[in-house]
Structure 1
């Protein structure tokens, strides 16, 4: 069997269909929905999925179980244990998708990168693109998997905390990008989380994640490069933030596609910053 190589951090439904049965490939469904939607990514995966896809639960199981903030990155031991239970070993190539196109899958992609695994990609267009291409779906109870042996190696360069963001906001070598809507960024719209202030970090720049997408697909590289070039210089290091660290990862994936190499995600994002009274908040309604 030929060795499998992922062509980029973003793969098409056509590529995935060609390689779906390769023993070196694992497909993960990382679907997650905003709490107000009433939808369950796990329950939807149980009913219907890309054949052989396993469920990557970053909101329930694969998170820091002690953190008060939502779905924070776990430590290496928990990540390795849960990923091994999904039948994944360090030699595997991983393709991650979600049921909305591109929404939650980049969060799981970033988690693998932050844990030292580079052989990981996101399915462009997600489950809707797979279905739209006429590819088969698997229904009914998912099959059991043979556990793998995965070793996690935390990569600090991919991860930002509040202290790092505070320093970055005062340093021209960095640019902090906020993936939330312009209304939430400006403070014109209240934050959906109780006790979290509206507004943004002083010095941060708004780049709503949905402006980098079209029909559930990430924009072509040329358009991504144009979007970032207007806000970030090539030598600046990027820190991506959002509401709770999910759509910030869309910016991180898009930035990598656009040719940036020094990218971190602020894991606590606005859920932490807006909820901490000692951290500065700016509004420009």
Structure 2
């Protein structure tokens, strides 16, 4: 099995592990596909139509999300995360491999959630389902069989997450660097935000790194290029705080930062869906 620090695995590696009875026994594959609100696709139906063998659906939009909030897919409590993830057959010693149907879009969100909940043995499938299909590996269809309940128990790590009020107090802190994953035109407020009612612009002292600059055809660019991107925006010892539209693509940056050797990574969960909607938080245009 891959080591706990192996944040990315290949389709070839995953296929080999699934073919090995001993390795497959401790492997849990999760489909964390999700789409932007304006994309008319149903990730759960697509999961039923075609998926990687043994996979279960990781629904961070509804099922594994904080209830009673107007903000989209907020990180749930450790108790709720434990309950829902155990239903997926995850154990404390499981190696979780997460993929999505776009290659590299929403799977890093699932990776970050597991990290924030104390589970280090989690990887993202490089290239996602498209890479798996392109390699011609086997797939499954239909509703998956239910798993035995796993013994997973979340241990919340607050250093992986930051809330709006705490972030607002640290905007001038030189020990941190806020990096925004949204497209440059949204960062610079040259276009309106896609979500109704949100102000345009960015946080004071934030820097722009659109997530698409880190990817090519659903794969991360080489590690040396990732390192150059982060070195151009921040000092090696700074804590990196990532934000985006609603906390999904910020996790692409968090994963990329870890791949490049940065270990102080935090995601602002509410992201612009929260910051842009509340007048008490400052905005730069």
Question: TM-score band, normalised by the shorter chain?
Answer: over 0.9
Cα drift, residue 5 of structure 1: 3.5
Instruction: Select the residue among 66, 77, 80 that pairs with 1:78.
Output: 80
- Hey, what's the Cα distance between the residues in 1 that align with 2:131 and 2:191? 32
- Hey, what's the Cα distance between the residues in 2 that align with 1:107 and 1:7? 17
Per-residue Cα deviation, 1:107-148 (whole angstroms, up to 9, x for no partner)? 000000000000000001000011111111111221221111
TM-score w.r.t. the length of structure 2 is: 0.96
- Hey, what's the Cα distance between the residues in 1 that align with 2:4 and 2:241? 25
* Secondary structure at 2:47 match in 1: helix
Q: Is the 8 A contact 1:32 1:98 kept in 2?
A: yes
Cα drift, residue 4 of structure 1: 5.7
- Hey, what's the Cα distance between the residues in 1 that align with 2:43 and 2:109? 14
Q: What are the equivalent positions in structure 2 for 1:205-224 lying under 5 Å apart?
A: 205-224=207-226
Q: Which residue of 2 aligns with 1:264?
A: 266
Q: Which residue of 2 aligns with 1:236?
A: 238
Q: Which residue of 1 aligns with 2:137?
A: 135
- Hey, what's the Cα distance between the residues in 2 that align with 1:76 and 1:6? 21
Q: Is the 8 A contact 1:244 1:270 kept in 2?
A: yes
Residue 124 of structure 2 corresponds to residue 109 of structure 1:
no
Q: What are the equivalent positions in structure 2 for 1:96-175 lying under 5 Å apart?
A: 96-175=98-177
Q: Is the 8 A contact 2:62 2:73 kept in 1?
A: yes
Q: Which residue of 2 aligns with 1:13?
A: 11
Q: Is the 8 A contact 2:94 2:121 kept in 1?
A: yes
- Hey, what's the Cα distance between the residues in 2 that align with 1:225 and 1:111? 23
Instruction: Select the residue among 61, 81, 91 that pairs with 2:93.
Output: 91
Instruction: Select the residue among 203, 206, 218 that pairs with 1:204.
Output: 206
Q: Which residue of 1 aligns with 2:58?
A: 56
Cα drift, residue 6 of structure 1: 5.0
Q: Is the 8 A contact 2:5 2:120 kept in 1?
A: no
* Structure 2 alignment gaps of length 5 or more: none
Per-residue Cα deviation, 1:206-231 (whole angstroms, up to 9, x for no partner)? 00000000011011111100111110
- Hey, what's the Cα distance between the residues in 2 that align with 1:33 and 1:81? 24
* Secondary structure at 2:255 match in 1: helix
Per-residue Cα deviation, 1:247-282 (whole angstroms, up to 9, x for no partner)? 000000000000001110000000000000111111
Task: Name the Cα RMSD after superposition.
Answer: 1.1
* Structure 1 alignment gaps of length 5 or more: none
TM-score w.r.t. the length of structure 1 is: 0.96
